[in-house]
Amino acid sequence: MLRKTNKSSWGGRGGRSGNSNDKHYFAGHDDRVPRNDGGSYIGNRPRVSFKTQARPTRDIPRSLALACLDEDVQMATSSNNNNRQVIIRGRDRGMQRGRNSPLPHRRFRGGLAAGMRRLPLGEPNWYKITIPYGHKYDKDYVVNNLLSYIAPETFVPIMYKVAGNEASFYVDDNKTATALLSSDRKITTTDGFKLQVKVIKSGFPHCEIDEKLKERLKQAMAKRYVHETNALDLSSFHRDPDLVTDYFCALFRPIMLKVVLDLVSEYIPNLEALNLDGNKLQIIEKLNILTKKFSKLKILYIGDNKIKEMNQIDTIKDLKLEELKLAGNPVCNKYKSRQNDYISDVRKRFPKLLRLDGMELPKPILFDVVDEGNKMPPSQRMFVGNAKAQEIASQFLQQYFVIFDSENRQPLLDAYDEHACFSMTVSYTHNSNNKLNGYLLENRNLYRTNDTNKRHKLLKQGRLPVVSFISEMPQTSHYLNTFTMDISLVTEGMMLITVTGLFKELDKKEQSIRYFNRTFIIVPEGTGYCIRNEQLHINTPTDAQLKHLNSQTEVQIPGPVSHGASSSSGIAKPMPSQQLPENVKQQMTMTLSQQTNMNLEWSLKCLEEVMWNYDNALSAFQEFFKRGQIPSEAFNK
């Protein structure tokens, strides 16, 4: 019974024990950097990777195909041979050829000669090879004869069985099956008969998964595990010489893949590198088990399979891979002339990838790939890089919108520079409930207004034209809790401020809600600031903005109310004092101080007395001021 991770049964060095020729198995790649003095390597531990070993022209090395065969097999011939014997010595290239020798002519090319019968291609490419009367011969004898005849082609006989008078096995390649078909009745056996070879296209063989098979799987995987690099080589697993005689362990079968990976997760939960090359994987959704059970997996080889679409690998995109092999899959053929697109599409799935198909990749462009460490920062209602600028802008805008929402906008003359410029643009839809017809005549949308003279006319220039235009706009009430403010540029001579939010039109019965975006350029003027340039954009609010507004208690810019006006006018409906944020309280206090000339301390007392109802605070001030009951210290600043 195998023991858990770190135990010797999984820690064999270099793959199969006792066979140093199996270099195609998984091995650790040491990328430690040599010292400048040429001495020993430095570094903590080897980088986990797969070595790509040179192989013969076919995927299966002949050493693997001959691994289970006896070294020498005697083959008798007929009497015409003068009783000579031909001895086939494993992989010996100096084999003798008698007149009736079973070895093919020197010009034979492994079943690819002109006029040779070919087998149909298709999915899956599984072929059953049947040897009539094969029960008379040993497995080694049959396989060795076939390998010798079709050389340099090679194969691994999968699930070699004898049933009745027939011997049979499976191969998984069309070219190999065609070469075997060509050997039919071409090999003379020891009893003088011609060896018959029949090939049929077949489904893959099935095998029952039981405890006995699981034990064999553990033994086979133990020899494929490299403890030093924490890597496991499961490439071409259905051809494993320790399994192929009795079992067909195809990882493209979902149930077999699950059984194998469950065993791996039990004994190597911290696996860092996995090779699944050459397993005929086509539907890879079941590989999502890798993301669940192997959180430390950094290297994955899934090359030489049957993956057709790039989006198929989305099932494993949650892996934090640093190296991936995908070459040899049909999907790669779609990128033959688009290497950059290939790298980009793979990196969208694996942003931290450093190596692809054996090639070192350039460092990732962070904005071109999704990376959890490079997410957009959360949005903020206020973006200000300068605290002093924020204080100046907040005071300026508070005063501006208080007057703008009042019944008399003429005091805004002090807010604009003598040579100020103002323009307004409007976005509108054909929704009859939200038409902005009242603004369209003054819409200076440069996409729609091509006439130069009209553009010039729609640009308001000078303090008086600007305030005159603003005074003719509908009476408004702005919602303070919808405001955002960005101060994107601050210099000694100017400040660029952008304010967005919602306001209500009070002139009409329906009191429509509008969205606004105002960009101010303010410049120093005397002891304060004034507007040098302003651009106002008006639009209908989105459903999300309206829903957000309706879910909150209305907090509107407090403004002066004419004598006798009631709170039913819709201006300055206060929130309960316990719900008001501190910045709103500060703004209300500052506004009341500016309107009444009281200092901040007395303005604060006034608002607290009326539970932060701005209308009541202003009315109370006006009433007590008329009576002369406000002490003089309230106006000391």
pLDDT in tens, 137-146: 998 999 999 9
**Chain-centre distance for alpha carbon 96:** 60
Torsional class of 38: left (φ above 0), alpha (ψ -120 to 50), beta (otherwise): left
Distance from C-alpha of 422 to C-alpha of 587, rounded to nearest angstrom: 26
CA dist., res. 500 & res. 141, Å (int): 87
End-to-end distance of the chain based on CA atoms, in angstroms? Answer: 89
| Model pLDDT, residue 104 | 52
CA distance 246 to 22: 21
Render pLDDT for 371-419 as a digit per residue (tens, 0 to 9): 455 556 666 666 777 778 888 888 888 889 988 988 888 889 889 999 9
pLDDT reported for residue 453:
84
Q: pLDDT confidence of 496, banded at 50, 70, 90?
A: very high
| 3-state SS track over 105-130 | CCCCCCCCCCCCCCCCCCCCCCEEEE
pLDDT band, residue 81 (cuts 50/70/90): very low
Question: What DSSP state is assigned to residue 399?
Answer: H
Tell me the mean pLDDT in the region 614-627.
81
Q: Does 510 have pLDDT greater than 60?
A: yes
Q: Lowest-pLDDT range, 294-298, 303-307, 322-326, 591-595?
A: 591-595
Residue 446 predicted with pLDDT over 70? yes
As given in the structure block, the two tokens for residue 512 are 């429509």
CA separation for the pair 388, 396 (Å, rounded): 12
CA–CA dist 438, 436 (Å, integer) = 5
281-295, 429-443, 511-525: which range is least confident on average? 429-443
DSSP string for residues in 504-551: EE-SSTT--EEEEEEEEEEEEETTEEEEEEEEEEEEPPPHHHHHHHHT
**How many whole angstroms separate alpha carbon 567 and alpha carbon 595?**
18
Asked if residue 551 has pLDDT above 90, the reply is no
Residues 225/231, Cβ–Cβ less than 8 Å: yes
Give the sheet arrangement for strand 416-426, strand by strand: 382-384, 476-490, 495-505, 513-525, 528-539, 416-426, 460-461
Q: Is the peptide bond before 152 cis (omega within 30 degrees of 0)?
A: yes
* Residue pair 73/141 in contact by the 8 Å Cβ criterion: yes
Cross-strand bridge partners of residue 186: none
pLDDT higher for 524 or 454?
A: 524
Q: Is the distance from CB of 475 to CB of 409 less than 8 angstroms?
A: no
279 CB burial (10 A radius; 0-12, 13-18, 19+): buried
DSSP three-state, residue 616: helix
Lowest mean pLDDT among 177-181, 250-254, 261-265, 271-275: 250-254
pLDDT at 437 over 50: yes
The mean per-residue pLDDT over the stretch 606-633 comes to 82
Alpha-carbon gap, residue 25 to 301, rounded angstroms:
13
When pLDDT is cut at 50, 70 and 90, the band that residue 214 belongs to is confident
Please give the single-letter amino acid code of residue 260: V
75: left (phi over 0), alpha (psi -120 to 50) or beta: beta
Distance CA 499, CA 563 (A): 31
SS (H, E, C) 282-348: CCCHHHHHHHHHCCCCCEEECCCCCCCCHHHHHHHCCCCCCEEECCCCHHHHCCCCCHHHHHHHHHH
Cα distance between residue 636 and residue 30, in whole Å:
80
Indicate the DSSP class of residue 50.
-
Query: What's the mean per-residue pLDDT of the chain?
Result: 75
Tell me, letter by letter, the H, E, C secondary structure of 137-200.
CCHHHHHHHHHHHHCCCCCCCEEEEEECCEEEEEECCHHHHHHHHHCCCCCECCCCCECCCEEE
Beta-sheet pairing, 460-461 with 33-34: unpaired
Buried b (16+ CB within 10 A) or exposed e, 313-332: bebbbebebbbbbbebbebe
For residue 240, give every residue at least 6 positions away whose Cβ sits within 8 Å of its Cβ, in sequence order, or none. 220, 224, 249
Average pLDDT over residues 82-91: 41
Look-up of token digits 């001030």:
621
Tokens (6 digits) for 96: 């003798």
Bridging pattern class, strands 127-131 and 158-163: unpaired
* Cα–Cα distance, 385 to 488 (Å, whole number): 8
Q: How many other C-beta atoms can be found within 10 angstroms of the C-beta atom of residue 2? A: 17
603: enclosing H helix or E strand? helix 600-609
List CB contacts of 31: < 8 A, sequence separation 6 or more: 43, 46, 47, 49
Phi, psi angles (nearest 5°) of residue 190: -65, -25
Tokens standing for 188? Answer: 């003379």
- The answer, yes or no, to whether residue 165 has pLDDT greater than 60, is yes
* Residue 592 or 377, more confident: 592
Question: For the segment 515-532, what is each residue's pLDDT rounded down to a tens digit?
Answer: 999 999 999 988 888 999
CA dist., res. 556 & res. 569, Å (int): 12
This model's pTM is above 0.95: no
Whether 329 contacts 335, CB under 8 Å = no
pLDDT greater than 80 at residue 348: yes
Distance between CA 467 and CA 464 in Å, rounded? 5
Of 290, 293, 217, 211, nearest in space to 250 by CA: 217
DSSP run (H or E) holding 298: none
24 pLDDT above the threshold of 50: no
Residue 223: strand, helix, or coil: helix
Instruction: Tell which wins on pLDDT, 150 or 3.
Output: 150
- How many angstroms separate the Cα of 43 from the Cα of each of 15, 363, 575? 25, 22, 65
